[in-house]
Structure 1
């Protein structure tokens, strides 16, 4: 596990996924056997690695990636390091014969992402990309509504993601400073359009075209050491997508911003309108409004609104247990390795996310709509 000393790598991948799986006795296979992950933590800071390993009952750690990759007993390479280093590190792991599981974006550019995929395919190894939001309880409920035909013909999707990330002067920022430096592969478009690609493709329809406007609303920030720096990457993106829905075209709009204050149900919400009903999903909950329960407001700006619109929606019940989204995908990947079960969230799917981010940046630069061509791999 390379690069897991960062916030996401520590909390979601190590503690809530691998350590949680170990605490449960491993991943159960089809024949009843269990696979127990035995992680070795790899990174550059020995003190951080030692402390992280000790705190989580992990016995192995190293600052020497080459030596770790040389161990034949360690069959999977997981990458949560910086995006810029990822292609080189993954190629190195593929050359060492490791299966690959990696965070996104899988590479800074589409060409690099496709190179990684082709190398993995040529090597005959198995590979996967983190696409965690597909297993969030709110989006699983949304997927259930889509599959049940609740919406009728889906018309549109409106997504709102983000929150106010403090600048770091009088209150510490809750995101790392590299996120706001283009030269360090930062930017909300590169970060979030990779997510939106797999969310849109898997829930409402394949992305066919994109129009995106990015901006840097906050031009200067302060880093982890309290030093002022220039924000060179976009901190907000306003994107529109055309989707190939099952019953016809779907229009999707998603705002992604680290410069907005939240007055909605969750840090990310997706509002879907269809001919027979609508739904709004957050990270954990989902609300519905069927055609027969839709209120009939009349526009009258001279009188206060008498309808409590929030009260006219019904929450989808928790009719099943929901596990951590990252852990769910880790378990699916481990079963893919040992039971050869299908696992479609691979490096090619990861490349699709990089493709959409590249096209989003190009759309912004050229101020125009761009088609999203199929990837030829």
Structure 2
């Protein structure tokens, strides 16, 4: 594709994530830098076209950020041959029909996850994209975070030896909305609107685990609703019908065991909102959003269990920081840049719609495990 400007139809940017990460910190930041830089040093500019249901909000965003075009008519935006890419960050319930329309209109597609409400629907999107020659991508933002990029370096270098286990902790306290305004939208806590932490976070954990370590082959999980009632944006009380915490054991290829806790009802006592500890025969690491610290085999202390005496070891002091050795930008922007280069080159994006299927497979398996009390093996389809 040879273009001076890529026009991106952006649906759902009036929401928190769509606005902050995808519009402001990604597309507008790329535009401000003069466009996406290619291997030969040339640049291709990007221009957003805002789409949504609320004309007032869209007009305000467009005026605030000098965006020339916005519309509440998605069909018209997709019918415009000047538009190249369709991006979807709206609520999950509206994603499948919009993506199908975009593919039928011949637009390249980049979507948030989960890509659909069910595995079956996600597979429909994969089938619709097959053979079209269009470049399709799914947001895998956490792989582009500085902390996980450092962790990936360690894995690739063989630092861990044989990896034994992964332990992940994610979450924070989301206020109920009564005396303190909630920092997440109320639909997140209504299953009828596509809410729930398992359907939200398990697709993330799937791509993190399969890209850094190995594919997930089985899951044992328990999902719960710790806070049964919340207050919405209008100040009305509502029943929380979706899970706000999920506790899972994931079995990976090669015998690696990953334990990941996800919760919107936990108070944070760690350095970052998400942390992964990886233990291997030759060393261990703890990685968060930005930092990564290691303890190699040769520097591992020898604790001795003695409940009668306080330990004199300061365990955190035995870990060393992994240096940046690079300039790390916003993770969302980094993947946007990679995706846009793939569109311009006409090559497949590494994280395609099939990865969205696998993420939903893990989420559905986790929910089934919780409901049945059984360990659920994942199918190999889509891998």
Query: Does the aligned pair in 1 maintain the 2:138–2:355 contact within 8 Å?
Result: yes
Task: Give 2:39's aligned residue.
Answer: 30
Residue 2, structure 1, aligned to residue 23, structure 2: no
Query: Does the aligned pair in 2 maintain the 1:137–1:283 contact within 8 Å?
Result: yes
Task: Give 2:353's aligned residue.
Answer: 347
Task: Give 1:372's aligned residue.
Answer: 378
Q: Aligned Cα RMSD in Å?
A: 1.0
Q: Which runs of 5+ in 2 are unaligned?
A: 1-9
For normalisation by structure 1, the TM-score amounts to: 0.97
1:195-231 deviation line (CA, Å, top 9, x unaligned)? 0000000011111111110000010000011110000
Task: Give 2:300's aligned residue.
Answer: 294
Shift of 1:122: 3.6
Task: Number of aligned residue pairs: give it.
Answer: 374
1:1-377 aligned within 5 A = 1-244=10-253, 248-376=254-382
For normalisation by structure 2, the TM-score amounts to: 0.96
**Matches of 1:42 and 1:210 in 2, distance apart?**
38
**Matches of 2:191 and 2:145 in 1, distance apart?**
29
1:134-188 deviation line (CA, Å, top 9, x unaligned)? 0000000000000011100000000000000010111011100000000000000
**Matches of 1:341 and 1:289 in 2, distance apart?**
39
Shift of 1:33: 2.8
Shift of 1:342: 4.9
Shift of 1:32: 3.3
Query: Does the aligned pair in 1 maintain the 2:197–2:245 contact within 8 Å?
Result: yes
Shift of 1:344: 1.4
**Which deviates more from structure 2 when the two are superposed, residues 50-59 or residues 75-84?**
50-59
Shift of 1:321: 0.4
**Matches of 1:254 and 1:111 in 2, distance apart?**
25
Runs of 4+ in structure 1 over 3 Å off: none
**Matches of 2:382 and 2:183 in 1, distance apart?**
39
Shift of 1:351: 1.1
